[in-house]
Amino acid sequence: METSSAYHDSLDPTNLGNFKNKLNLPGRDGLLGFLEATADPVELAVRRERVQLAPGKETEMLTYRAERDGRVWLNPTFLVKTGAGFSASLTNELDEDTTIHWHGLHLDWRMDGHPLRAVRPGAGYRYAYSVANRGGTYWYHTHGHGNTARQVYMGLAGLFIVEDENERRVNEALGVKLGKTDLPLIIQDKNLDGEGKLVYEPDEMAWSMGYTGNVILVNMTPTPVLEVGTRLYRLRLLNGSNARLYRLAFEKVGGGELLPYRVIAADGSLLARPHLVWEVFLSPGERVDLLLDLRGFEVGEELALTNVAFDPMHREHEMGENMGHGGHAPHGGMAQAEEMYASAPRLGDGQEFYILRMVVKDRLTQDGAVPEALSVVSPADTRGAAVRPVTLSATTEAGQTRWLINGLTYEPDEFPIVVQRGAKEIWEIRNDERSMPHPMHLHGFRFRVFEKRNSPGQVADTAVDKKGRTATDLGWKDTVLVWPGETVRIAIEFSHDFEGEQLSLFHCHILEHEDAGMMINYKVVDPHG
Ligand code: C2O
Ligand code: CU
Ligand code: CU
C-alpha cells in the first residue's frame, strides 16, 4: 500500500516528473462533459458523487449532476448561443442550502443565485433566461450565504461557454475546434489527504488570507499531462481556485526560456486584437483565453504551463498584528486530516510550480492563422458618469482580520450602494497599502477597466497603454484584481430590460473573504415618475 507521504510526494507540483495523470478534457458526457442547451430545461441535481480524479483513489465531491437520454454529466460544460434561451431545474439533494450563480452573465437577479434566493434542502429552483452576453468563456458556481467557499471547493462549479457570430468567425479563422484544439482548462488548487479525500479545514489564518492547497488540478485532474501536436491551440483558462493567484507562463522544458503567447479574450469577451505576452496574472473568478503556437516544436519536445514566482504582496503583515504566514501553529490538537497532509510541501503564495505538462506527440499541419482583428470593443462611454469611491481595507479585532468594502461587511438586508437604472458610473476602487490583492467581482453587469493607478512594478511592467492597463484588462470584464496600494477605475453602465429593482452583489472572489463578509449588496432602482 502506498503510504500517505509517498502519495503526497507523487502530487507535489514543484516536480514536473509528477505530471503523469492524463488531463481530463470535456467529452460527450461525464465530468465536465459538453452539454448543449436545448429548449427543454436541464435537470440538475446537486449531490455527492464519488469520482476518480487520479488513478487508484476515489474522491467524494459535490457535483451538479445532469442526466439526458441515459447519459450522465457531472458539472457539465454548458454550450449556449447568444440570444438563445437557457433553462435549468435545480434540485437540492444536500442537507444544506445551495444556489447557482451564473458568473459574468447579465441576468435578472432572481435568476442569478443571489443568497436571498437560496434553495433549501429537498427544494428546487427553475432558472430560465435568455443569454444576452457576447460569446465567451463564463462559468457557474454555488453562492450559498456564508457557504460559497466550502461548496465551490468541494466541487460545485462548471463552465458556461457562449457562442456568437464573432466567436464562430474567429475559431474558423484560427482553425481550432472546441474540445479538440480549443480547450477549456479550469485551474484549481486543493488539499487531498493520503486517501484522496478532499480536505477543507480553514483555520483563522485561512479565513483572513484565503484557503490554498498543495495540489494543483486542471479540470479536476491532479498533476496533469496533455498530449499536443505541432499547431495552434486556443486555451480557455478559468481560475476556479478559492484563493490562489497565478502568474501564468509557458516554458519549454529543458530550454528554460519562456514562450510568448497571445491573449485573445478576457473574462467574457474577445479583445479587439490579439496581444502578445509572456505572462499574465489570473485571479480567482477571472478567465483568459489565449493562443499557444506550437508550430515551431518538434515531436518529442515538452513544455509546461507554469506559475512563475511573484511577490504575493501580503502587506497586511504591516498591521503590526501577529499576522505571519509560515510557521503558524494550528491551535489545539491537530485534526487527523491536517496531520496527514502536514508532511506535504507547503505551496506558498507566489511560489514557482507547474500546472500542466504538455508533450508534443504529433506532427500536424494546419491552415488556420491568427486574425489581426478579433472583435469590436467600443471604448467605455463615461460621459456624464458619476464617480463612486470604493475602498478595500482590513480591520483586526481580537486577532481576527476581516476585510471590508467601504468600511462595511455583508448584511443581507442592507443595500449600501443604490444606483439608477441606466446610470453610468465609474467605480474608483482603492485598495489600502496595508492589504493583500483582492479580485473584485460585480454580479449582473459587465464593466470596462478604465484606468489603473499606482500598480506594483510586477503589474505595471506589463502595461500596454498609458492608462496602466495590461492585456487582460482590455475587454469586457466582470472581475478585476486590485493590488495593495493600487487604484482601479472601472466603468459600468447599469442599463437592463428586467422587471423592477435589481438586487445584486459586489464582492471579493477570494471565497473565504466573500464568506467572511467582504461583499456588499447593491440595488438598481427605477427612476421615479
Ligand atoms: Cu463568481 Cu458572486 O461570484
Ligand atoms: Cu459572479
Ligand atoms: Cu479579498
Query: Which one-letter DSSP state was computed for residue 457?
Result: H
Per DSSP, the chain holds a count of helices (H) and strands (E) of 7, 37
CA 191 – ligand 1 centroid, Å:
22
Q: Does residue 430 have its Cβ closer than 6 Å to ligand 1?
A: no
Looking at this protein, which amino acid is placed at residue 161?
I
* Assigned C-alpha cell, 523: 440595488
- Concatenated DSSP letters of 86-129: EEEEEEE-SSS-B--EEET----GGGTT-GGGPBPTT-EEEEEE
CA distance 148 to 511: 7
Which ligand neighbours the alpha carbon of 115 most closely?
1
- Could you tell me if 484 and 436 are in contact, meaning their C-beta atoms sit under 8 angstroms apart? yes
Q: Does residue 159 have its Cβ closer than 6 Å to ligand 1?
A: no
* pLDDT confidence band for 398 (50 / 70 / 90): confident
CA 60 – ligand 3 centroid, Å:
28
Q: Which helix (H) or strand (E) holds 206?
A: helix 204-209
Q: Does residue 507 have its Cβ closer than 6 Å to ligand 1?
A: yes
Which ligand neighbours the alpha carbon of 506 most closely?
1
pLDDT digits (tens, 9 = 90+) for 222-243: 999 999 999 999 999 999 999 9
Query: Which one-letter DSSP state was computed for residue 484?
Result: T
CA 322 – ligand 2 centroid, Å:
33
Count the alpha carbons within 13 Å of 291 in the hemisphere toward its beta carbon.
27
Q: Does residue 143 have its Cβ closer than 6 Å to ligand 1?
A: yes
* Assigned C-alpha cell, 48: 455527492
- How many other CB atoms are found less than 10 A from the CB of residue 288? 23
In the chain, % of residues over pLDDT 90: 84
Looking at this protein, which amino acid is placed at residue 353?
F
- How many other CB atoms are found less than 10 A from the CB of residue 451? 18
* pLDDT confidence band for 3 (50 / 70 / 90): low
Residue 528: predicted pLDDT: 72
In the chain, % of residues over pLDDT 70: 94
Work out the mean pLDDT of the chain and round it to a whole number. 92
- 54: CB partners within 8 A, 6+ apart: 11, 21, 196, 221, 222, 223
pLDDT above 50 (res 22): yes
Provide the phi-psi class of 150: left if phi over 0, else alpha when psi is between -120 and 50, else beta.
alpha
Residue 366: predicted pLDDT: 79
Closest by Cα among 29, 28, 135 to 81: 135
- 147: CB partners within 8 A, 6+ apart: 96, 97, 98, 515
pLDDT above 60 (res 340): no
Query: Which one-letter DSSP state was computed for residue 385?
Result: P
- Could you tell me if 96 and 121 are in contact, meaning their C-beta atoms sit under 8 angstroms apart? yes
pLDDT digits (tens, 9 = 90+) for 146-165: 899 999 999 999 999 999 99
Stretch 97-123: mean pLDDT: 96
Which ligand neighbours the alpha carbon of 238 most closely?
1
CA 243 – ligand 3 centroid, Å:
8
Q: Does residue 114 have its Cβ closer than 6 Å to ligand 1?
A: no
Q: Does residue 190 have its Cβ closer than 6 Å to ligand 1?
A: no
Q: Does residue 443 have its Cβ closer than 6 Å to ligand 1?
A: yes
CA dihedral 310, 316, 318, 320 (to 10 degrees): -150
pLDDT digits (tens, 9 = 90+) for 440-490: 999 999 999 999 999 999 999 999 999 999 999 999 999 999 999 999 999
CA distance 172 to 181: 12
Q: What is the pTM of this model?
A: 0.94
Our measurement of the distance from residue 119's CA atom to the centroid of its chain's CA atoms, rounded to an integer in Å, reads 23
CA 6 – ligand 3 centroid, Å:
34
